[in-house]
Amino acid sequence: MHTILVTGGCGFIGSNFIRYLLAESGFDGCVVNLDKLTYAGNPENLAGVEERFAGRYRFVKGDICDAALVRETLRRHRIDAICHFAAESHVDRSIVGPGAFIETNVQGTFTLLEAAREHAAALSLFHHVSTDEVYGSLGPEGYFTEETPYRPNSPYSASKAASDHLVRAYHHTYDLPVTVSNCSNNYGPYQFPEKLIPLMILNAAEGKPLPVYGQGRNVRDWLHVADHCRAVWAVMQRGRRGETYAVGGRCEMVNLDTVQLICDLLDEMLPGDGRGPRRRLIGFVKDRPGHDLRYAIDCRKIEAELGWRPLETFESGLRKTIRWYLDNREWVSRVQSGEYQRWIAQQYHQS
């Protein structure tokens, strides 16, 4: 791999991945970042990268649904590998308005695959970044594996499932060299403050209410974004073509415990306002419609085949993440400067 097209590189995971690729992975080629810059895409997530890696990083502003642009980008930059992150990624938004999810996640992935097929002679890999949500919801027992049947429950996960199936079909039918990773919940720096962890950190730091959906009993398997980036790169380098790898943190947490831990760490790291522990800010709100109960990944395949394993523990990763959000208040106010309101769920409960 010499020149990798990263789609959605200005988002949370994509920007962490580009930094990792250029600075830490040992890769010495070039990265072209194709991003539409939606509300979730912020060029400042990559501040300093162009200067620090002069000649190895290019940004192309554009939509993965734009077939002519995608084709031209592959040709002009002599792309020989693709790592596809670009997506609409927030479940709550998919409940409020599913259209953009079908457009970007399904149509956009199809457009990329078609361009990749035309460009196949020059392409060694199409890596598709996906989610464990395609498998639906677990009860109290068991784990998702690469063999778990797809049962997506939200418009978001259904659109990601559709994109996974297209990627699989392009391998099966056209022999496109693909790999897929299905990962659990990520957290870490540069995550847009609509997702649970950054939203709770910022609201708790500012003394605002902490809206826990339902009873707060839902379980998520958390993985630090740096561990996810290493997993994606391991799959890209050494994963078998046509294979899927499930990626998770072996870190199941009940939502309420996660929010309480954030409160306790913040009480320790940021002196309070004298009104008592931040746990007092927690409130239970109407549940997310169709809310999946539990996600948990069995990641033995990627561990055994590729030697990957998560390095960050939840508490150490969470401490670093809280520190990052406290130290980057300017970033927070800039990315929130558009139409965004921190609590999307209010919208679907009002309508």
Contacts with ligand NAD, residue ranges (CB under 6 A): 7-8, 10-14, 35-38, 40-41, 63-65, 85-89, 104, 108, 129, 131, 160, 183, 185-186, 192
Tokens of 84: 């596809």
From the list 78-86, 130-138, 229-237, 316-324, the region that binds ligand DAU by CB under 6 A is 130-138
326 with 267: CB under 8 angstroms? no
**Nearest distance, CB of residue 52 and ligand NAD, angstroms:** 20
Touching ligand DAU, residues 266-295 (CB under 6 A):
288, 295
Q: Which of 15, 33, 42, 89 binds ligand DAU (CB under 6 A)?
A: 89
Using the minimum distance from each CB to ligand DAU, give the nearer residue, 73 or 89.
89
244 with 182: CB under 8 angstroms? yes
Using the minimum distance from each CB to ligand NAD, give the nearer residue, 119 or 128.
128
**Contacts of residue 148, Cβ cutoff 8 Å, sequence gap at least 6:** 135
Q: Of 166, 30, 36, 40, nearest to 94 (Cα)?
A: 40
For residues 265 and 80, what is the distance between their CA atoms, to the nearest angstrom? Answer: 44
Task: Kindly compute the dihedral angle of the four CA atoms of residues 20, 26, 32, 35, in this order, to the nearest 10 degrees.
Answer: -20
116 with 74: CB under 8 angstroms? yes
Q: Does 220 bind ligand DAU (CB under 6 A)?
A: yes
Rg of the Cα atoms in the chain: 20
Q: Does 119 bind ligand DAU (CB under 6 A)?
A: no
Distances 53 to 23, 37, 295 between C-alpha atoms, Å: 9, 21, 38
Q: Does 15 bind ligand DAU (CB under 6 A)?
A: no
Tokens of 118: 């035309």
91, interface contact from ligand NAD, ligand DAU, none, CB < 5-8 Å by kind: ligand DAU
Q: Which of 49, 180, 212, 253 binds ligand DAU (CB under 6 A)?
A: 212
332, interface contact from ligand NAD, ligand DAU, none, CB < 5-8 Å by kind: none
Using the minimum distance from each CB to ligand DAU, give the nearer residue, 115 or 292.
292
210 with 263: CB under 8 angstroms? yes
196, interface contact from ligand NAD, ligand DAU, none, CB < 5-8 Å by kind: ligand DAU
Residue nearest to ligand DAU (CB): 131
255, interface contact from ligand NAD, ligand DAU, none, CB < 5-8 Å by kind: ligand DAU
For residues 163 and 89, what is the distance between their CA atoms, to the nearest angstrom? Answer: 13
Using the minimum distance from each CB to ligand DAU, give the nearer residue, 211 or 239.
211
Using the minimum distance from each CB to ligand NAD, give the nearer residue, 14 or 155.
14
Which residue(s) pair with 283 in the sheet?
A: 211
Q: Does 182 bind ligand DAU (CB under 6 A)?
A: no
179, interface contact from ligand NAD, ligand DAU, none, CB < 5-8 Å by kind: none
**Nearest distance, CB of residue 271 and ligand NAD, angstroms:** 31
β-bridge pairing 219-224 and 252-254:
antiparallel
Tokens of 348: 């679907």
**Nearest distance, CB of residue 192 and ligand NAD, angstroms:** 5
Task: Kindly compute the dihedral angle of the four CA atoms of residues 94, 99, 100, 105, in this order, to the nearest 10 degrees.
Answer: 80
Instruction: Provide the annotated active-site residues.
Output: 132-133, 156
Which residue(s) pair with 31 in the sheet?
A: 4, 57
User: Which amino acid, residue 235?
Assistant: V
Q: How many residues bind ligand DAU (CB under 6 A)?
A: 19
Using the minimum distance from each CB to ligand DAU, give the nearer residue, 63 or 164.
164
DSSP E strand boundaries for 100-233: 125-131, 178-183, 185-187, 210-213, 219-224
**Contacts of residue 169, Cβ cutoff 8 Å, sequence gap at least 6:** none
Residue nearest to ligand NAD (CB): 11
Using the minimum distance from each CB to ligand DAU, give the nearer residue, 131 or 260.
131
Site residues (vs ligand DAU, CB under 6 A): 89-91, 131-133, 184-185, 195-196, 199, 211-213, 218, 220, 255, 288, 295
